[in-house]
Amino acid sequence: MSDFDVNAYLLRCAALAEDFAGNVLRPERQLPSELYSAMRYSFFAGGKRIRPALAYAAAEAVSGDGTSSIPFGVAIEMIHTYSLIHDDLPSMDDDELRRGKPTCHVKYGEAMAILAGDALLADAFAMLTEEGMAGRYPADTLIKCIKEISLAAGGVGMVAGQAVDILSEGQTLDLPALEFLHTHKTGALIRASVMTGGLSAKASASELEALGRYADRVGLAFQVADDILDVVGDTETLGKPVGSDEGLSKATYPSVMGLAEARKRLVELIDEANEFTIPFGERGEPLRAIATFVGSRNN
Amino acid sequence: MSDFDVNAYLLRCAALAEDFAGNVLRPERQLPSELYSAMRYSFFAGGKRIRPALAYAAAEAVSGDGTSSIPFGVAIEMIHTYSLIHDDLPSMDDDELRRGKPTCHVKYGEAMAILAGDALLADAFAMLTEEGMAGRYPADTLIKCIKEISLAAGGVGMVAGQAVDILSEGQTLDLPALEFLHTHKTGALIRASVMTGGLSAKASASELEALGRYADRVGLAFQVADDILDVVGDTETLGKPVGSDEGLSKATYPSVMGLAEARKRLVELIDEANEFTIPFGERGEPLRAIATFVGSRNN
């Protein structure tokens, strides 16, 4: 057992991401202010910032310094935020609370919430192509990172997962369908976080392959853990009503394979993820610590 | 008066854009098929494809060949399509018909319409960074084009205009506020079309400046013409109920400055746009023809 302090690491990565994002989402930057407020409200609503942390840890595994990952982690966190805003809409999951606070559409109205999400998505790419970035990264690295992120966000990535989620409400999904859902809905952006972190640090082809395999396990583990939490957690810990997914008859890992099997699967996924970090030696410690954290998190 | 056949030119550009887009939005490409159907339904719902045509004409003005512009014109048309899908939603303009057909949410449901829009936006950037593109364009040209498009689409561009549009419903806008709305909501993507067309054809700094000035006039003219049409057009010509904007008490050029002044402004804008194409000589003819078309279109 390592004595690596994962909570301190996550806090440090979150602070770096939030500092950077604070400059991107500047109060004076855009009109109308209500759009801007809605974007900031949801982006700064809290959260562990797991995606920026994964990007940081991947860059650190490759080069010993995670700093190069920060813009990419923030871009992905902006896209993650937009997806939460749209997911919470009345026509989607119809959630009124997220992390114990009113969701974006409850606070700003449905139209402004849709637009805030749209802006966060487009602005992620604008941020990655602003002039400072072109000076800091080779143009072909930027292109590769934008490709990873846009594919992960779009119709062959996260949105495909969200669409399956919506379309399968009230249906019984089998395991392959459930894995399609989650590898797309949650896994794609998690993979993009790790891959762009690696790319930003000039990872070799074999390093990128190891990072990709690590990321696929962690992405799935993330969702298995979430599903288990939804069964065994409580409202206070999660900041949303327990069993809310079950209330809408959504398929979950525990409902498809049973709670004990889901827990076993989670342990296997984390073990596999950690194996793929071995080539990075000591520098892979943050990746291992985050995977273990994902497997044992309770909020 | 030139004998340039603008209608034939627009049809040719539209065919090129739709051929290219047909490969991007391939039927077999993605699951779930319902998401994909919704994306295709709205993208191929018709329309003049003015944005791809402007990109094509700008590239032609610079290099004598518009072909280099096609992926950028299509990316912008995908983003334009997403904006129409989201604009039509019940919580936004609540339109049930577009170009005489049921809007995306009427046909596919609100959740799938939101997701189809989201996917079109992200996939535009995925298309611009796929491997074939990296072989065809210098990486820094791609970066510049993605910057133009994402800024034009996001919170300092189109979405800012849409947000002002929503927030100003039922209010009386003055001319500066109305111009802010339209230079953002419509003008930004039109400008991006012209600029990326020019960039794709390796335009010089002075050529880009001339193209930008042309585009700003055409973008505004586009909206002034639209507002005039909404007053004087009829339902059959427009494919949407006449006066629908007025019904929601939205500010328009005729309502702010009167119909006669709006018409005069439209003529001025087209004249100014055309002046900025003079440096391109003969090759600027398509840009001039499209500007004139925008000033005189009736659907």
Does the pLDDT value for residue B235 go beyond 70?
no
Please give the share of chain A, as a percent, with pLDDT higher than 70: 91
Residue A253, classed as helix, strand or coil, is helix
Inter-chain Cβ pairs, chain A and chain B, closer than 8 A: 183
Q: What is the ipTM of this complex?
A: 0.93
Write b or e for each residue in B89-112: b if 16 or more Cβ atoms lie within 10 A of its Cβ, otherwise e: bbbbbebebbeeeebbbbbbbbbb
CA distance A5 to chain B (A): 36
Question: Which residue range(s) make up the domain with A102?
Answer: 6-296
pLDDT of residue A192: 98
Domain assignment present for residue B271? The answer is yes
**Contact of A66 with A13, CB cutoff 8 Å:** yes
Residue B168, classed as helix, strand or coil, is coil
Cα separation, B298 vs B26, in Å, equals: 32
Q: What does pLDDT average to over chain A?
A: 91
Tokens encoding B241: 């109920």
What tens digit of pLDDT does each residue of A218-265 get? Answer: 999 999 999 998 888 754 455 555 555 544 556 789 988 999 999 999
Nearest to B92 by CA among A109, A249, A297, A144: A109
Does the CA dihedral A227-A233-A234-A238 come out positive or negative?
negative
- Asked if A134 lies within 8 A of B154 by C-beta distance, the reply is no
* B171 pLDDT tier (thresholds 50, 70, 90): confident
Residue B64, exposed/middle/buried by CB under 10 A (0-12, 13-18, 19+)?
Answer: exposed
**Which residues from B are below 8 Å from A147, CB to CB?**
126, 129-130
Domain assignment present for residue B1? The answer is no
pLDDT of residue B246: 47
Does the pLDDT value for residue A137 go beyond 70?
yes
| pTM given for the model | 0.94
Where residue B239 falls (left for φ over 0; alpha for ψ -120 to 50; beta otherwise) is left
- Say whether residue B287 is in contact with chain A using an 8 A CB cutoff: no
Q: Which amino acid is it at B273?
A: A
Q: Which residue has the tokens 């995670």?
A: A66
Domain assignment present for residue A1? The answer is no
Cα separation, B117 vs B159, in Å, equals: 13
Provide the H-helix boundaries in chain A. 6-24, 33-43, 50-63, 70-87, 104-108, 110-128, 131-136, 139-153, 158-167, 175-182, 188-200, 205-232, 235-238, 244-247, 253-257, 259-275, 285-296
- Asked if A160 lies within 8 A of B32 by C-beta distance, the reply is yes
CA distance B169 to chain A (A): 12
Identify the CATH number of the domain in which residue A275 sits.
1.10.600.10
Tell me the range of A20-24, A194-198, A244-248 where mean pLDDT is highest: A194-198
What tens digit of pLDDT does each residue of A50-102 get? Answer: 999 999 999 999 999 999 999 999 999 999 999 999 999 999 999 999 999 99
Q: What is the dihedral of CA B137, A141, B125, B121, to 10 degrees?
A: -160
Does the pLDDT value for residue B79 go beyond 60?
yes
Provide the H-helix boundaries in B64-109. 70-87, 104-108
Domain assignment present for residue B72? The answer is yes
Residue A25, classed as helix, strand or coil, is coil
Nearest to B205 by CA among B191, B215, B195: B195
* B172 pLDDT tier (thresholds 50, 70, 90): confident
CA distance B48 to chain A (A): 24
> How many folded domains does chain B comprise?
1
Cα separation, B243 vs B217, in Å, equals: 25
* A299 pLDDT tier (thresholds 50, 70, 90): very low
When CB atoms are compared, the residue of B39, B111, B164 closest to A155 is: B39
